[in-house]
Structure formats: structure tokens, C-alpha cells
């Protein structure tokens, strides 16, 4: 497994995205509107920053920003077999948010683990 991306919650995707492009010399790899969010992936070699901005009020990300403010939202780990990764997580005593993979941004299968059982970090498995 490898780190696929770091999800960053923001209330101004364009400004933050432009800052990161200028600051790090990364490139825009993908954008989409998904599940009440504007999503932008910035490529850093073999991994990404995924910038997330609410596109509708009252959604999950909007509530997250109200409670926590902007910053790191989650860390995603790439796997070739998301179902086996979920089984391993359960065997390790990790509580799952998603017991089955679901479609995430960029059309990838994803599943999240509860931060209370992963050291306070919202972790995501992603299978391309």
C-alpha cells in the first residue's frame, strides 16, 4: 500500500489550489463536483492533495468545516484489493464507517475507517 492522497477541507478551493500550484510547482490533475463538494486533485509525483470545498450548505463537508475549520480532513491509502484491506482492518479491531466499498471521487472505490480507532485520523482506503 502507498499514500494515495491527503484530503484537505477548505472554504476557498480556487485560492488554496492556486497557492499550492505556485508554492510547490504541482499540477492540476483532476476536478469534479461530487457528493456536495467541489473536488480538485493536485499531483505531487505519485500522490495527490485532494482539495475539498462544499458546493452546498448543510452537507457533511460543510458541517465538518463549521466544527473544525479548514485543514487536513483525511489521509487515503491506495490498495489493489479494497475488500481484503477492509477485512484486515476489521481483524485489527478498526471500526469502519464504510463496511462495503462505495464510489468516491474520480470514480474510485473508497471506504473510510473511523478516526476513533485509527489514532484520531480519518483514514480512507482507495482502489483505482
Please tell me the CATH superfamily of domain 2-127, with its number.
2,3-Dihydroxybiphenyl 1,2-Dioxygenase, domain 1 (3.10.180.10)
Pull the grid cell for residue 49. 492533495
Pull the grid cell for residue 118. 485509527
Quote the CA–CA distance of 44 and 32 in Å, as a whole number.
18
pLDDT tens for the chain, residues 1 to 128:
999 999 999 999 999 999 999 999 999 999 999 999 999 999 999 999 999 999 988 899 999 999 999 999 999 999 999 999 999 999 999 999 999 999 999 999 999 999 999 999 999 999 99
- Residue corresponding to grid cell 476513533: 116
Quote the CA–CA distance of 76 and 125 in Å, as a whole number.
6
pTM for this one?
A: 0.95
**Domain limits of the chain?**
2-127
Quote the CA–CA distance of 52 and 116 in Å, as a whole number.
22
Amino acid at each position: 500500500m502507498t499514500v494515495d492522497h491527503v484530503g484537505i477541507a477548505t472554504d476557498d478551493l480556487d485560492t488554496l489550489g492556486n497557492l499550492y500550484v505556485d508554492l510547490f510547482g504541482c499540477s492540476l490533475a483532476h476536478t469534479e463536483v461530487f457528493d456536495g463538494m467541489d473536488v480538485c486533485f493536485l499531483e505531487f509525483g505519485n500522490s495527490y492533495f485532494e482539495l475539498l470545498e462544499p458546493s452546498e450548505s448543510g452537507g457533511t463537508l460543510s458541517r465538518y468545516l463549521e466544527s473544525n475549520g479548514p485543514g487536513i480532513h483525511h489521509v487515503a491509502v491506495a490498495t489493489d484489493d479494497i475488500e481484503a484491506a477492509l477485512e484486515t482492518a476489521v481483524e485489527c479491531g478498526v471500526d469502519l464507517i464504510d463496511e462495503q466499498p462505495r464510489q468516491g471521487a474520480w470514480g474510485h472505490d473508497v471506504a473510510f475507517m473511523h478516526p476513533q480507532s485509527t489514532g484520531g485520523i480519518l483514514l480512507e482506503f482507495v482502489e483505482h
